[in-house]
Amino acid sequence: MRVLIYALLIFFLVISLLPTFLMFSTAFVPEGDLFNRTIEKIMSDFEAPRTVLLMRVRPIGKTFELVKEDQNSFARLDSAKGVKGLAFSIGSSDINRLSHVVFKLRSSSTLRMVVSFKDIKENVERFAEIVIDPTPSWKTMRVDVEAKKMKLDVLHVSQLRMEIEGDGILDIDDVTLVNRYPTLYNFVKILREDYFGRYLLNSTIVSVCSVLGNLFFCSLVAYAFARKQFRMKELLFSLVLSTMMIPPQVTIIPTFILMRKLNLINTYWALILPNLVTPFGIFLMRQYFEQLPTELDQAARMDGAGDFRIFWNILLPLSKPALSVLGINTFVLTWNDVFYPLILTTSREMRTVQIGLALYQKLNVFTWPTLMAASTIAGLPIIIVFLIFEKRIISGILEGAIKS
Amino acid sequence: MPPVLRGENVKRKEKITTFVFILPWLVSFCIFVLYPIVFSICVSMTDYSGLTWDMRFVGFSNYARAFKDRVFLKALSNTLLFVLITVPATTMISLLLAVLLTSGIKFKRLFQAGYFLPSVISMVVISMIWLYIYSATGPLNTLLRSLGFDVPARSWLASERTALGSIMVMDVWSAVGYYTVLFVAGLQSLPLQLYEAAKIDGATKWQIFKRITLPLLKPTILFVVSINSIRSFQIFTEIFTLTGGGPANSTQTIVHYLYDVSFRKFEMGYGSAIAYVLFFIVLAITVIQRKILKGEQL
């Protein structure tokens, strides 16, 4: 029985965590997806017929010779016949993800080989020079690529070039480009190509302002509901609670019209103002204030303190647990909000990270690793907040639930 | 100075202070709740577009139009189907998890945090993850193929038959942890004496669960079902990011249609009417829940 319970619990745990794990692990894949990773890209193994090969591999100088030996084909570059090298076309590729180039060779005499890339603007940059000693058997060579140090247009590279200097015969086979794995480049790409840095900044500004606003204003209002006596207090408070029930979709159209009238569309104000005082915050803080002893305020009042002094100097410092619950929950809710930011912003510069992510997927041609990297950027801050403040977040939810 | 007057002064000052303290809420309530609600109901009876200020009073014809609009009816039936399937599924799975979690196991908090994690991740991020999982060459199809199933090479979200169901599965996955936490709290607040007594009487575990736990947990279950229904009636983000209501309106929902009508086709009068239909549905759920709860307590 025990075993069965644990088995079930672990089964559900795996289901519950697996998708998030997939997101993280795919974000570090260079190309393809987690189950179909393209870590190696074979430029040529010279097995194809010559006519097909020539579409991808161009000779530099005179044409190369295709040799077949023990069911294995390779290219033979004979300097006596005027062959200077090979050029492999790679379309228009981003070589930032590349780690190194691997190929097999054997040569009859000492030769020098220059490896270079050419971009779509025909700039050529050499990144390695190797001296090849004569070897009778195949030898695997590895040449590292450091795209960061290159001056040519590394985002649009069209050719990998291998040129030989010196006299002799050189055989080449299995030329392969190898990607870095795991790579952080997907994140770099997302931050550079789209405005994800800006989106993160927007989300942070909006969330932090909403948190501060909620902490201050909700406790201010809650103080009145907890400590002051006034007419229609209970009626007003039930009004506060009932606004929690109103679906945000009912108020969005008038809010949008209002914001447009005030010229606040595409400003931080439009995103912050509607979230500044939330009924949940008022409710939470009132509950907390009410269970603090009133003797404290009475003593302060004897000393001549006014309401604001009592609120600011006595009640607030005592309410740190409730304030942190409110702060963290507000942060999570504002960070994850979609409906309001989607409608109240139209320009790219003002999108929050959630909207940025949703529209990145809708408007761009993306690959799974880059999309998962973008999702990680949008999701990770909340996951970190959750891992640190798990207890506070859950107690905030329970507080909210008790109201019923 | 007569003391009465001083008292009056103090009273007035008190009133002003109280007013100042409540002011932030009052302002926010008037601008972002009261004005929108009143304005919406007015707009819903006009043909206001949202682009110009021209509007004509059209009475209830926007509401009548909604119930003749085939796309809206499709959206309504999709949303109802969504609620009717996901809410019971989520409730049952989370209740099961909560019962397992409170059965005196080790690492309870660790498990609970693990189940809860998906509910703090934003819906957009969750949608992106599942977009990948459901994609033509994605993890789900890879898994099914390796198990020997012959699955077509297309995304689960691209077919009319599977799109809504796929979104439902995703929704249940993302919501279960949240309600598990509520159920765990509910289960822990139940009186232990009853359980002791039942054990002494020789009741089996299933009997205890059926006769004691379930009836006592009814308020929590009711609460979970009603807030989950309210939330599910408002489903928007996953539809917006994953399918945009397609293919062929098979995943169109009330709120997504409201968005389409108001902010893409710019028929805000009609959009407001749809918003009010949604509002009344939510109101009805709340009222029913309250009624049932009150009936229980009497």
Per the prediction, chain B carries an average pLDDT of 89
Cβ–Cβ < 8 Å for A23, A379:
yes
Q: Does A21 touch chain B (CB under 8 A)?
A: no
What confidence tens digit (pLDDT) does each residue in B225-245 have? 988 998 999 999 999 999 988
Q: Which residues of A touch B36 (CB under 8 A)?
A: 250-255, 258
How far, in whole angstroms, is CA A303 from its chain's centroid? 55
Q: Which candidate in B10, B40, B121 is best for mutational testing of the A interface (most A CBs within 10 A)?
A: B121
A-B CB pairs within 8 A amount to 246
Q: Do A255 and B32 touch (CB under 8 A)?
A: yes
Of residues B147 and A246, which shows the higher confidence score?
A: B147
Other CB atoms within 10 Å distance of the CB of residue A66? 17
pLDDT for the residue B2? 45
Q: Per mean pLDDT, which of A6-20, A56-70, A123-137, B149-163 is the most reliable? A: A6-20
Whether the per-residue pLDDT at B1 is higher than 60: the answer is no
pLDDT at B3 over 50: no
Of the listed ranges A136-145, B11-20, B78-87, the one predicted with least confidence: B11-20
Q: Give dist(CA A198, CA A50) in Å, integer.
A: 50
- Does A9 lie at the interface with B, CB-CB under 8 angstroms? yes
Token pair for A261: 């009238």
The answer to whether the Cβ–Cβ distance between A383 and B120 falls below 8 Å is yes
Average pLDDT of chain A to the nearest whole number: 89
Q: Which long-range contacts (CB under 8 A, 24 or more apart) does B133-140 make?
A: B133/A19, B133/A22, B134/B166, B135/A368, B137/A33, B137/A35, B137/A36, B138/A33, B138/A35, B138/A368, B139/A22, B139/A34, B139/A35
Confidence of residue A402 (pLDDT cuts 50, 70, 90): low
Strands A111-119 and A40-44: unpaired
ipTM of the predicted assembly exceeds 0.90: no
CA distance A309 to chain B (A): 12
Chain A CA closest to residue B175: A16
Asked if residues B192 and B216 have their Cβ atoms less than 8 Å apart, the reply is: no
pLDDT exceeding 90 applies to what percent of chain B?
57
Decide: B175 and B229 in contact? Cβ < 8 Å: no
Flag if B137 and A282 touch (Cβ within 8 Å).
no
Inter-chain CB proximity A253 and B50 less than 8 Å: yes
The CA-CA-CA angle for residues B94, B99, B102, to 5°, reads: 120
Helix pair angle (A196-213, A320-336), 10° resolution: 140
Instruction: Tell me, rounded to whole angstroms, the distance of Cα A38 from its chain centroid.
Output: 20
The more confident residue out of B49 and A378 is A378
Give the model's confidence band at B122: pLDDT under 50 very low, under 70 low, under 90 confident, else very high.
very high
In this predicted structure, the answer to whether residue B84 has a pLDDT above a threshold of 60 is yes
Q: Do B14 and A228 touch (CB under 8 A)?
A: yes
Q: Residue A38: what pLDDT?
A: 83
Asked if residue B35 has pLDDT above 70, the reply is yes
User: How many Å is the Cα radius of gyration of chain A?
Assistant: 32
Q: Which residue of B has its CA nearest to A339?
A: B237
Residue A36: its pLDDT value, please? Answer: 83
**pLDDT digits over A265-303, tens only?**
999 999 999 999 999 999 999 989 988 888 888 888 888
To the nearest whole angstrom, how far is the Cα of A337 from the nearest Cα of chain B?
8
Q: Please enumerate in sequence order all residues whose Cβ is within 8 A of that of B32, keeping only pairs 6 or more positions apart, or say none.
A: A251, A255, A273, A274
What residues pair up with A100 in beta bridges, in sequence order?
A144, A178
Q: Is A34 on the interface with B (CB under 8 A)?
A: yes
Please, are residues B142 and B168 in contact by the beta-carbon 8 Å criterion? no
The pLDDT confidence band at residue A94, using thresholds 50, 70 and 90, is confident
